[in-house]
Structure 1
Amino acid sequence: MRIVVGCRPEPRGQDALALGALLARQAGARVVLAHIRPPAQPGAGVGAVDAEWRAFLREQTDRLLDDAERQLRERDPDLPVERAIGDNRGSGRGLARIAEEHDAALVVIGPAPGGRAGRVALGSTADQLLHGSPVPVVLAPRGFAEHPPPRVARCTIAYQRAAQSAQVAACGVAFARLLDADARLLTLVLRPVRLYSGRQHQAAEQQVMRSVREQARQDLAAAIADLDGVVDGETVEGDDVRAALDAVTWADDLLICASGTVGPVKRVFVGDVSHKIVRNARTPVMVLPRGVRADAWRTSAPSAP
């Protein structure tokens, strides 16, 4: 099993390294340190290539990957490490290609610049991966490397009854088992926008919410009953996704959510709700490809000795 970790020279690249090392250690996986360079520019002559520019890129890439491997060894000297370099105008597309070439199970990236501390920040790299990656994408929140947990203690799977929800839940629980972590299904119940202020209308809204709560609990209980092993369940309410997630108790969690219901099969294609979950999560987030199989982790290629 291989985990591709996107390497960048900025301090935010350390967040991806810390999270990638943590997941690789728990999953018994190899780390593929990956960097995407801009493609070489044509020189002045026909068919010529700027050799000086290419030499500069090679030097900078080697220095970056040397530093990344050094940091990784400091965190865990026993982790098996590989390197991969790609040339692409889009770093996210380049990482997706490396993941396919190395038969990787995951791609891990850090936050975009300018995000809030403790939250996932999305930039162009994340956007490209979240709209086309062939493997699950894991996003590290800003500052994760400063105080990383000793291990992922629990995988929390965002659950909403839908066409692919059973496969998503089973895949998330299987990943928790791979990490030897606890598993929890989490359903967010969002309160509707209040359109009327009259007492009669408020009573009707409260009745609707009681029905929604009860249906969510029944759906959650049915989903847990279909899963193997011990799985916890929790429903939380909020006026929006951020408020609901803020009401959840987190304890060294990895939050797992599904792609949207549209988009290419076997590719990550984040939907509206998943996008809001990613942006407002306080923990690392994994987004699964659309049409993910429940046995996805068992079919990943084993690590080379």
Structure 2
Amino acid sequence: MRFIVGYTATPAGSDALALGARLARSWGATLDIVLVLHSEHRPTLVPSDAGYDRFLHDRSEGWLADAARRVPAEVTTRTHLVYADTFSAGLMDTAGSLGAMLIVIGAAHDGIFGRFTLGSVAADLLHSSSVPVALAPIGTADAGHALGISRMTCTIGTKAGSEVLLAAGIRFAAAAHVPLRLVSLVAVDLPGGVEDKLVSKHGAIHAQEVLNYAAARLPESVVATADVVFGDSIEQAIGSLDWNPDEIVLVGSSRLAQPRRLFLGSTAAKMLRALPVPMIVVPRESHLTQGI
């Protein structure tokens, strides 16, 4: 198992590195730290400066070496300096060539501490990546909590693709040997005007269904629980839940996405703004679900 960190020598890069190290340690994965430079191919009207190119290459190698030193010794780490037309394209190409199962990136640092603000790289990846993308909120590197994962939370609605997300949640929780919390979004998915009693009933039934599904597939060492969230909005519903500082949330790609591709839907985008913990967005038909 290999995880990729999209690294830059910035606070966002440090956040991504910290989250990548936590995930790799918990799941026993190799951590590939990738720094992307703009492609060496230039238009003919732009002269090449060999001296500057060499300086930039050497400086980038130094940044990668420094990043690798900050990863715990028990995590197998490799560094890669790649060239591509865009940062996101370089990460996706590298993920494909290495057979990586996850890409980890940091937030644009113009938002609120503990929240995620989409930058151009994140936006590109969340609309085109063929592998899951983990998003490290601002301040992940400075959070100060124990390295690791205490719980996986999987947000399950009633729309197409939920079974894929649930299968990924089962696999992640089992690999990390942590509890799996299943959060039913039925109360949010239902149209307005539905009576509260009916909403509560549908939510409870759905939560029990996904819990039964997970319990039948999880190893005995992993405990699963189910909650139903209510609220007039996604943000309000997510805010009603308790969150451990070192848990991870799984959300699914929009049903509008092409098979094996991400597309961040409106629900996931709203959750992204409200969540105080890292999020992993899983594509439809993800290879994470194979064998489950």
Q: Do both proteins adopt the same fold according to a TM-score greater than 0.5, normalized to the shorter chain? A: yes
Indicate the residue corresponding to 1:151 in structure 2.
148
Aligned to 2:122: 126
Q: After the TM superposition, which of the residue ranges 254-263 and 273-282 deviates more from structure 2? A: 273-282
1:279 and 2:273 correspond: yes
Give deviations 1:174-198, integer Å, cap 9, x for gaps: 111101111011123339998xxxx
RMSD: 2.2
Q: CA deviation at 1:68?
A: 0.6
1:242 corresponds to 2:241:
no
Distance change >3 Å, CA 271–CA 191, structure 1 → 2: closer
Whether 2:264 is the aligned partner of 1:270: answer: yes
Q: Sort the Cα spacing of 1:191 and 1:158 in 2 relative to 1 into closer, same or farther, 3 A.
A: closer
Aligned to 1:178: 175
User: 1:58: Cα distance to partner?
Assistant: 0.3
1:218 match: secondary structure: helix
The CA distance in 2 between the partners of 1:134 and 1:145, in whole Å, is: 26
Question: For 1:136, which of 132, 138, 148 is the aligned residue?
Answer: 132
User: 2:14 maps to which residue?
Assistant: 14
Taking the aligned partners of 1:169 and 1:232, their CA distance within structure 2 comes to 13
| Equivalent residue runs for 1:173-252 within 5 Å | 173-188=170-185, 189-190=187-188, 205=193, 208-227=195-214, 228-229=217-218, 230-251=223-244, 252=246
**TM-score normalised by length of structure 2:** 0.90
For 2:167, the aligned partner's letter is: A
SS for the counterpart of 1:286 is strand
**The 10-residue stretch of structure 1 (216-225 or 86-95) with the greater mean CA deviation from structure 2:** 86-95
Q: Scaled by the length of structure 1, what TM-score is found?
A: 0.86
The residue number in structure 2 matching 1:33 is: 33
Tell me if the contact between 2:68 and 2:79 (Cα under 8 Å) persists in the aligned partners: no
Distance 1:275 1:226 in 2: 27
Distance 1:148 1:16, change over 3 A: farther
Indicate the percent of aligned positions where both proteins have the same amino acid: 30
Task: Go from structure 1 to structure 2 and tell me whether the alpha carbon gap of 1:183 and 1:39 turns closer, same or farther (over 3 Å shift).
Answer: same
- Show CA shifts across 1:58-117 (max 9, x none): 022112101111211xxx112211122222232122111111111001011111121110
Q: Does 1:167 align with 2:164?
A: yes
SS at match of 1:112: coil
Number of residue pairs the alignment of both structures matches: 283
Stretches of structure 2 that go unaligned for 5 or more consecutive residues are: none
Deviation at 1:41, TM superposition (A): 5.9
Segment drifting more, 135-144 vs 261-270: 261-270
One-letter amino acid of the structure 2 residue matched with residue 97 of structure 1 = D
Structure 1: distance between partners of 2:32 and 2:189: 43
- The structure-2 alpha-carbon separation of the partners of 1:193 and 1:166, relative to structure 1 and needing over 3 Å to count, comes to closer
